[in-house]
Chains A and B, each alone.
Chain A
Amino acid sequence: DGGITQSPKYLFRKEGQNVTLSCEQNLNHDAMYWYRQDPGQGLRLIYYSQIVNDFQKGDIAEGYSVSREKKESFPLTVTSAQKNPTAFYLCASSSGRQAEAFFGQGTRLTVV
């Protein structure tokens, strides 16, 4: 089955810890995105990558980091510098400017 997979579905982080969210796609898409979703605020773009070994900051990149070493993978690290990380995180991929994005099922991160 082609698709985009996020793991884990639920993640708990202690304050001061870094955590990494996984996003893998087998759709052969060049572009991948990370969004954060908070109630009443819609989806906000954290980082996006249009090609392997390249990525750009979105609107709320502070406290986050990414890598794009392989076309299939775009992991997101939530660092201790992110002061309010509790949110629902969505990964997406797309094949081109005119193409729709495909989304994973999301990771819900909670700080405990």
Chain B
Amino acid sequence: AQSVAQPEDQVNVAEGNPLTVKCTYSVSGNPYLFWYVQYPNRGLQFLLKYITGDNLVKGSYGFEAEFNKSQTSFHLKKPSALVSDSALYFCAVRDPGSGNTGKLIFGQGTTLQVKP
């Protein structure tokens, strides 16, 4: 069964410092991987995705993520954090073998706190 793990409930970083939010996955084949951000009492907003090709993908708001097949990881990164990046971040995986669109499974979420 496919699954996603975000091992950190919260990540704290100072403004201007680099940030990393971790994600590991488990699927039977080659995964489709996604990162989303959620602000309080709102829906999720898409940040970036990995489908195939270059292991480093770039997304919205200066975020990027690195796909590592051997470590089954897809960590979210940003070179310089902003206070406005403070939010709840979700990693998600879709099993490419599960039908036309298939199940989209989310991790537990990681709260990012950026302090001035």
Whether a CB of chain B sits under 8 angstroms from the CB of A8 is no
- Is A90 within 8 A of B105, CB to CB? no
- Is B90 within 8 A of A43, CB to CB? yes
Question: Which residues 58-112 of A have a CB within 8 angstroms of B?
Answer: 58, 88, 90, 92, 94-106, 108
Known: A35-B106, A43-B106. A50 touches B101 (CB 8 A): yes
Q: Shortest CB–CB separation between residue B50 and chain A, in angstroms?
A: 10
Q: How would you classify the secondary structure of chain A's contact residues: helix, strand, loop or mixed?
A: strand
Q: Find B42's partner among A41, A42, A97, A105 (CB 8 Å cutoff).
A: A105
Q: For chain B, which range describes its interface: under 10, 10 to 19, 20 to 34, or 35 or more residues?
A: 20 to 34
Q: Which residues of A contact B106 (CB under 8 A)?
A: 35, 42-45
- Is A94 within 8 A of B108, CB to CB? no
When C-beta atoms are compared, the residue in chain B nearest to A9 turns out to be B41
Q: Which residues of A contact B99 (CB under 8 A)?
A: 50
Q: Shortest CB–CB separation between residue B114 and chain A, in angstroms?
A: 21
Whether a CB of chain A sits under 8 angstroms from the CB of B56 is no
CA distance A3 to B104 in the complex (A): 19
CA distance A69 to B32 in the complex (A): 29
Q: Which residues of B contact A90 (CB under 8 A)?
A: 43-44
Query: Contact mask B75-116 → A, CB, 8 Å, 1/0?
Result: 000000000000000101010100111111111110000000
Binding site for B on A (CB under 8 A): 6, 30-31, 33, 35, 40-45, 48, 50-51, 56, 58, 88, 90, 92, 94-106, 108
